[in-house]
């Protein structure tokens, strides 16, 4: 029965094809005529194809890149990750994989051009663990400056750094501040939030700073295939609290004194539900940041005013 039904279908298809062929000339003529009547200027055609523009910098052709910059109003994202140990159960690239997931989804919702994989940040505190790529401080700053300079030379007059790595929390504001040392024709913005303070499924753990409940949950959304929940209790992520100093006295070794295994929290408490909530929050937050950056017409103007005044500070009036 199945065979004969299939044969009938093939026969029907053949009849349809021959009918189509018979009418081919007239259909082609109509198509040709309508394309002449509907002839669009090149710019409009480009705008039409813009609907399918990738948000990935490296996936765009040179001419589509030009269209991407126009469509993003010169707003480009630089998702910033790192290569470091993430407990016994998450991959070295966790921060990069997570932040790119959030940034790419946000850019799909509110168009922006997203720079390729970038992981050249501050991670000296994990040099004792395998797989850590820890660049010198001079190179971190020089490479980031040349990267944003080059992005701006290509039309990214608003560079939004989306940080995925806690160890960059001082580097990035310092980098943004250092943009005032000499004139730049673009603005560096930093967005440095990854986890909502409240809301969503109740959390089971209180210490949750690195490869713990939240970060493991988010990885269950971005790359579930790379999460090894069965290994999450192989090492301790407890706070060892070995340094006795007031909270407002800072040392670089503070992290190692508390979490020597580069693990803070308990990844075995992670759930997909928490990951879904937190990742959605993160994506929504980046969307909000992109929109705010696009709407910002003050920063560059005042930055230029500042640069000009800074060339003759004695003339500056209160
Ligand atoms: Zn991390």
Q: How far is the CA of 260 from the centre of ligand 1 (A)?
A: 15
Please check whether residue 118 is in contact with residue 124, taking contact to mean a CB–CB distance below 8 angstroms. Answer: no
Question: What is the 165 CA–ligand 1 centroid distance (Å)?
Answer: 6
Which whole number is the average pLDDT over 284-298? 98
pLDDT at 49: 53
Distance 310 CA to ligand 1 centre (A): 39
Question: How far is ligand 1, taken at its centre, from the CA of residue 188, in Å?
Answer: 23
Please say if the pLDDT value at position 39 is more than 70. no
- Going from the Cα of 148 to the center of ligand 1, the distance in angstroms, rounded, reads 23
Q: How far away, in angstroms, is 287 Cα from ligand 1 center?
A: 21
Residue 6 above 50 pLDDT? no
* Distance in Å, CA 125 to ligand 1 centroid: 13
- Mean pLDDT across the chain: 88
Distance from chain centroid for Cα 302 = 27
Distance 129 CA to ligand 1 centre (A): 14
Neighbours of ion ligand 1 (CB under 5 A): 94-95
Q: Ligand 1 centre and the CA of 211: distance in Å?
A: 6
Instruction: Flag whether pLDDT at 15 surpasses 80.
Output: no
For 213-233, the pLDDT digits (tens) are 999 999 999 999 999 999 999
> Is the confidence at residue 1, as pLDDT, over 70?
no
Distance between Cα 100 and ligand 1 center (Å): 13
Phi, psi of 19 (to 5 degrees): -60, -45
Ligand 1 geometric centre to CA of 167 (Å): 9
pLDDT at 276 over 80: yes
Q: Give whole-number Cα distances, 179 to 73, 148, 159, in Å.
A: 21, 11, 12
Report the separation in Å between the CA atom of 91 and the middle of ligand 1, taken as the mean of its atom positions: 10
Rg of the chain in Å (alpha carbons) = 26
Mean pLDDT of 246-271: 97
Mean pLDDT of 26-34: 38
Is pLDDT above 80 for 18?
no
The more confident residue out of 9 and 39 is 39
From the CA of 111, how far away is ligand 1's center (Å)? Answer: 26
Sequence-ordered list of residues with C-beta below 8 angstroms from that of 283, at least 6 positions apart, any chain:
102, 105, 106, 109
How remote is the CA of residue 291 from the centroid of ligand 1, in Å?
A: 26
CA of 316 to the centre of ligand 1 (A): 45
Report CA(280)–ligand 1 centroid distance (Å): 17
124 CA to middle of ligand 1, Å? Answer: 14
Quote the pLDDT of residue 37: 38
For residue 90, the CA-to-ligand 1 centroid distance in Å is 9
Burial status of residue 260 (CB atoms within 10 A of its CB: 0-12, 13-18, 19 or more):
middle
Phi and psi angles of residue 104, each rounded to the nearest 5 degrees, phi first? -65, -40
- pTM of the complete model: 0.84
- pLDDT on residue 229: 96
Q: How far apart are the CA of 238 and the centre of ligand 1, in A?
A: 16
User: CB-based contacts of 144: which residues, under 8 Å, 6+ apart?
Assistant: 120, 175
Question: In this model, does residue 14 exceed pLDDT 90?
Answer: no
Judged against a pLDDT cut of 90, whether residue 78 lies above it is answered with yes
Q: Please compute, for residue 245, the number of CA atoms within 13 A of its CA located in the half-sphere on the CB side.
A: 13
Q: What is the band of 318 on the pLDDT scale with cuts at 50, 70, 90?
A: confident
The angle at the Cα of 82, spanning 78 to 88, to the nearest 5 degrees, equals: 145
Task: Find the 168 Cα to ligand 1 centroid distance in Å.
Answer: 11
Q: Is the pLDDT of residue 102 over 60?
A: yes
The predicted pLDDT at position 317 comes to 80
């Amino acid at each position: 029965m199945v065979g004969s039904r299939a044969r009938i279908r093939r026969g029907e298809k053949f009849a349809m094809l021959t009918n189509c062929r018979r009418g081919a000339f007239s259909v082609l003529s109509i198509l040709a005529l309508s394309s002449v009547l509907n002839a669009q200027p090149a710019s409009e055609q480009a705008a039409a194809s813009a609907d399918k523009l990738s948000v990935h910098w490296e996936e765009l052709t040179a001419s589509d890149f030009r269209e991407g910059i126009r469509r993003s109003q010169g707003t480009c994202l630089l998702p910033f990750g790192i290569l470091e140990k993430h407990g016994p159960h998450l991959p070295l690239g966790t921060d990069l994989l997570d932040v790119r997931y959030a940034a790419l989804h946000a850019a799909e919702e509110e168009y922006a051009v997203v720079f390729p994989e970038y992981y050249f940040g501050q991670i000296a505190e994990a040099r004792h663990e395998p797989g850590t790529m820890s660049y010198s401080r001079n190179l971190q700053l020089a490479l980031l400056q040349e990267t944003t300079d080059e992005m701006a030379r290509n039309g990214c007059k608003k560079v939004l750094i989306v940080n995925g790595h806690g160890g960059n929390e001082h580097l990035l504001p310092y980098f943004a501040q250092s943009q005032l040392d000499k004139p730049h024709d673009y603005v560096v913005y930093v967005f440095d939030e990854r986890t909502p303070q409240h809301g969503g499924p109740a959390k089971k753990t209180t210490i949750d700073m690195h490869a713990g409940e939240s970060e493991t949950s988010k990885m269950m959304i971005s790359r579930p295939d790379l999460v090894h929940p069965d290994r999450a209790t192989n090492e301790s992520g407890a706070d060892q609290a070995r340094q006795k100093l007031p909270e407002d006295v800072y040392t670089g070794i503070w992290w190692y004194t508390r979490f020597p295994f580069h693990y803070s929290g308990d990844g075995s408490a992670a759930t997909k539900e928490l990951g879904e909530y937190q990742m959605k929050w993160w994506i929504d937050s980046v969307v909000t940041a992109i929109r705010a950056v696009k709407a910002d017409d003050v920063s560059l103007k005042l930055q230029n005013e500042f640069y000009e005044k800074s060339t003759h500070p004695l003339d500056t009036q209160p």
